[in-house]
Amino acid sequence: MEAKLLIAVPRPLRTLLTYVHPTTNPIDLLGCRVSVPLGHGSSIGVVLGLADEQAINQYKLKAIKTLLDREPLLDAHLLELIQWATRYYQHTIGEVVFTALPNALRDGKPLPQTMTWQALHKSAASSQLKRAKRQADLYQWLIQQNVPCSASTIHTHVGDGWRQVLAALIDKGLVQEQLSLSQAGLPYLGTVTPKLELSQQQNTCLEQCRIWIKAPNPQPTLLHGVTGSGKTEIYLRLIEDALASHKQTLILVPEIGLTPQLVQRFTDHFPEQRISCLHSGLNDTERLQAWMEARSGQADIVIGTRSAVFTAFAHLGLIIIDEEHDTSLKQQEGFRYHGRDLAIKRAQMLNIPILMGTATPSLETLHNAEQGRYHYFRLEQRPGKARQPSLEVQDIRGQHLHSGLSKLTLQALERTLERNEQAMLFINRRGFAPMLLCPACGWLAHCPACSANMTYHARKSRVICHHCGTDEHAESHCPACNHPQLMTQGHGTERIELVLQQYFPETPIVRIDRDTTSRKGALERHLETVRTTDRLLLVGTQMLAKGHDFPNLTLVVILDVDAALLSSEYHALERFGQLLTQVAGRSGRSDKPGHVILQTTQPQHPMLLTLLQSGYLAFAQQLIEERKRWQFPPFSYQALIRAEAAEMEQALQHLEQLRAVIPSQTGVSIMGPVPAPLEKRAERYRAQLLVQAENRHLRHICLTYLTSQEKNSPNQKSIRWSIDIDPVELS
């Protein structure tokens, strides 16, 4: 019998293509890859559905060339999630499907067979491994596992260089290599590491979560715990529960590379379970390995960044999202999905619990909790002796600053170092200074490709555009008037580091930003220095705001955040409150009290005062009120239509045409088109149009007008346009 199959191909098409294939069981083909004829060539595709028999009789349909998979790569739930995401984000189906597949499977290569390794009990082992600590560790671990282990779990356990360690054990006849068979999760026998005793608050929270999770249709749960309140401990206990009932857990985190400590805590707590990490540091093969382990049920716990939301699982039972508010959970190009929102959808489709933890919930999540759509639990205290840090606002108007630092700040740094403690200076800008200019004629180093200044990097003696990456030698003479000296304005991390070196020549200084951590292992080395040096100064960008635990850090100085307070972008204040709270939360995490200094020219800003005097929750509630007054999200639903072209006029005109396609409707307002805040990036002019609707349905209808018009205004090389649903920034 011949079946008509609906197939997604990796092209910018909004529809599925229909092909025929001889089979009696077409259902079994859903989620399999195929090779199909397309145009004059052929393409890979994924079977997504069965075609309606009547609807397509008028065409002579082509047949599938080859069926590439013997079993579906994507199960029915994932296919449903993919279809939902395609509709919700108004994106092309092919791109969504192929985003969900690991890179290594996108070109039609067969699903490889995975190898596993198992330790053999040998009495001679201890003498054979006497002088090889890493081999001995791995051997011991493999013995404990007592089942064949996969590459990625061994990688997670051993770290870099695992292949050599493993190869040595195989050579010595202590480990056996074999083809893997998919299997159910390991029986969970409890951990051997001593556990922390939970505080009373943590216990109450855990018990509450357990009750909620057992409900037949569990609602999402927001765990709003101040920084350092022990949210991770709650995650660990809930994962124990999932393991005990043979379920897998997916943990989504914003950026794994930035928080190696977090992964370590999971591996320490679950020494016998198999944990796979999916992060950007993996190559395609490693990523595929981790994906297949989740799919076969070999991995008990999967920790990954946003794209891990599409991981196939054999028996997923729990999803945890750490730092729910973090915008890096949202993809900012191409298929612009939000990892958190898709995870919530996935949990709902599977009817499994999802827990979101953060110290600074996003306004939309907090609003959902306040409306009763999510369960809500607060952890207001740090366990043990740790307390929330005290905050001090320093008015720097009219003050003489030493390369950005006030006299009071310098004194506070000195006192901290005298006590043999650590201080951290936060400034959200890398490089030496954001401006390099000529004092004689006013020339300014400007990016030739963007409407932005170049940032001066003193170490490398270069000017770099942080938007497009243009990187040029920094002139020593003014290119306009040949004046022999250029000057800088403003500060970045590099400059702060330099001034600290001058004031505290004896003190070790660690700078953490994208420039100092680009090499593999560099961040780990820096963090190790911070862990092992009592008396130290730490300088860095928002990379420092993320979940790090520095027990000896007692002073945090926050520089140059005034721009966020004064920004007209309505997301800016929310982000400011989150960043400030997260950065401040790095201090005073053990028994020593923490202190935070905020240098600002806006000490009377009402929202700043609310944040400092009443805390993040009151601040966020006030912002929610404001959003309500202005009918901004979460009280309305936005889509940002972006266009870019060689000329601003073209981009604007294109958006004008798109705008004209949407009939005016009550409940919908359309703003723009206007030039984007960064008007030009990498030689392209950028404009935007904001669609704001009373509800999601109306928004969807409006956008359908646009997408159905696409044939008349296709994405040409000269003009590109895209839809961003629930934008997290309007730039």
Q: What is the dihedral of CA 663, 668, 673, 675, to 10 degrees?
A: -160
Q: Where are the alpha helices (DSSP H) in 464-513?
A: 493-503
| 702, 662 Cβ separation under 8 angstroms | yes
Among 38, 111, 350, 440, binds Zn ion (CB under 5 A): 440
Least distance to Zn ion from the beta carbon of 485, Å? 10
> Of all helices (H) and strands (E), which one includes residue 143?
helix 133-145
Let me know how long the chain is: 731
Query: Which of these ranges, 6-14, 228-236, 398-406, 635-643, lies near ligand ADP under the rule CB under 6 A?
Result: 228-236
Q: What residues between 419 and 438 interact with Zn ion by CB under 5 A?
A: 438
Instruction: Kindly state whether residue 566 participates in binding ligand ADP, applying the rule CB under 6 A.
Output: no
Instruction: Kindly state whether residue 467 participates in binding Zn ion, applying the rule CB under 5 A.
Output: yes
Least distance to ligand ADP from the beta carbon of 203, Å? 9
Q: Give the span between the Cα atoms of 502 and 573, in whole angstroms.
A: 34
Q: Give the span between the Cα atoms of 589 and 227, in whole angstroms.
A: 9
Which of 153, 143, 119 shows the shortest CA–CA distance to 274? 153
> Of all helices (H) and strands (E), which one includes residue 295?
helix 284-296
Among 282, 391, 417, 465, binds Zn ion (CB under 5 A): 465
C-beta closer to ligand ADP: residue 92 or 388: 388
Instruction: Kindly state whether residue 268 participates in binding ligand ADP, applying the rule CB under 6 A.
Output: no
Per partner kind, with CB cut-offs from 5 to 8 A, the member of Zn ion, ligand ADP, none near residue 481 is Zn ion
Query: Which of these ranges, 47-55, 231-239, 347-355, 388-396, lies near ligand ADP under the rule CB under 6 A?
Result: 231-239
Q: What residues between 361 and 420 interact with ligand ADP by CB under 6 A?
A: 383-384
Query: Which of these ranges, 149-157, 459-467, 491-499, 622-630, lies near Zn ion under the rule CB under 5 A?
Result: 459-467
Q: What is the DSSP string of 540-593?
A: ESGGGGSS---TTEEEEEE---HHHHH--STTHHHHHHHHHHHHHTTSS-SSS-
Instruction: Kindly state whether residue 198 participates in binding ligand ADP, applying the rule CB under 6 A.
Output: yes
Instruction: Kindly state whether residue 228 participates in binding ligand ADP, applying the rule CB under 6 A.
Output: yes
Least distance to Zn ion from the beta carbon of 724, Å? 21
| 321, 315 Cβ separation under 8 angstroms | no
Least distance to Zn ion from the beta carbon of 496, Å? 24
Per partner kind, with CB cut-offs from 5 to 8 A, the member of Zn ion, ligand ADP, none near residue 471 is none
Residue 138 burial class via C-beta count within 10 angstroms: exposed 0-12, middle 13-18, buried 19 and up: buried
Which of 657, 660, 673 shows the shortest CA–CA distance to 714? 657
Least distance to Zn ion from the beta carbon of 404, Å? 25
Helix, strand, coil % (nearest 5) of the chain?
35, 25, 40
C-beta closer to ligand ADP: residue 383 or 490: 383
C-beta closer to ligand ADP: residue 267 or 650: 267
Q: What residues between 525 and 554 interact with ligand ADP by CB under 6 A?
A: 549
Q: Which residues of 442-457 are buried (b: 16+ CB within 10 A; e: fewer)?
A: ebebbbebbbbbbbbb
Q: What residues between 571 and 600 interact with ligand ADP by CB under 6 A?
A: 589
Query: Count residues contacting ligand ADP (CB under 6 A)?
Result: 17
Sequence-distant (6+) residues with CB within 8 A of 727 are: 638, 639, 640
Which of 469, 472, 475, 473 shows the shortest CA–CA distance to 450? 469
Query: Which of these ranges, 386-394, 418-426, 442-450, 499-507, lies near Zn ion under the rule CB under 5 A?
Result: 442-450
Instruction: Kindly state whether residue 230 participates in binding ligand ADP, applying the rule CB under 6 A.
Output: yes
Per partner kind, with CB cut-offs from 5 to 8 A, the member of ligand ADP, Zn ion, none near residue 700 is none
Structure tokens at 508: 């070790």
Least distance to ligand ADP from the beta carbon of 312, Å? 28
Instruction: Kindly state whether residue 225 participates in binding ligand ADP, applying the rule CB under 6 A.
Output: yes
Per partner kind, with CB cut-offs from 5 to 8 A, the member of Zn ion, ligand ADP, none near residue 229 is ligand ADP
| 221, 370 Cβ separation under 8 angstroms | no
Least distance to ligand ADP from the beta carbon of 364, Å? 21
Query: Which of these ranges, 72-80, 373-381, 478-486, 586-594, lies near Zn ion under the rule CB under 5 A?
Result: 478-486
Helix (H, G, I), strand (E, B) or coil at 717: coil
Q: What is the dihedral of CA 82, 87, 89, 94, to 10 degrees?
A: 50
> Of all helices (H) and strands (E), which one includes residue 596?
strand 595-600
Per partner kind, with CB cut-offs from 5 to 8 A, the member of Zn ion, ligand ADP, none near residue 408 is none
Per partner kind, with CB cut-offs from 5 to 8 A, the member of ligand ADP, Zn ion, none near residue 230 is ligand ADP
Q: What is the DSSP string of 602-624?
A: -TT-HHHHHHHHH-HHHHHHHHH
Among 103, 267, 451, 470, binds Zn ion (CB under 5 A): 470
Instruction: Kindly state whether residue 450 participates in binding Zn ion, applying the rule CB under 5 A.
Output: yes
- Would you give the distance in Å from CA 265 to the centre of its chain? 19
Parallel, antiparallel or unpaired: strands 422-426 and 536-540: parallel
Instruction: Kindly state whether residue 30 participates in binding Zn ion, applying the rule CB under 5 A.
Output: no
Among 443, 503, 570, 635, binds Zn ion (CB under 5 A): 443
Instruction: Kindly state whether residue 229 participates in binding ligand ADP, applying the rule CB under 6 A.
Output: yes
Among 227, 365, 455, 602, binds ligand ADP (CB under 6 A): 227
Residues that bind ligand ADP (CB under 6 A): 196-199, 202, 225, 227-233, 383-384, 549, 589
Residues that bind Zn ion (CB under 5 A): 438, 440-441, 443, 447, 449-450, 465, 467-468, 470, 478, 480-481, 483
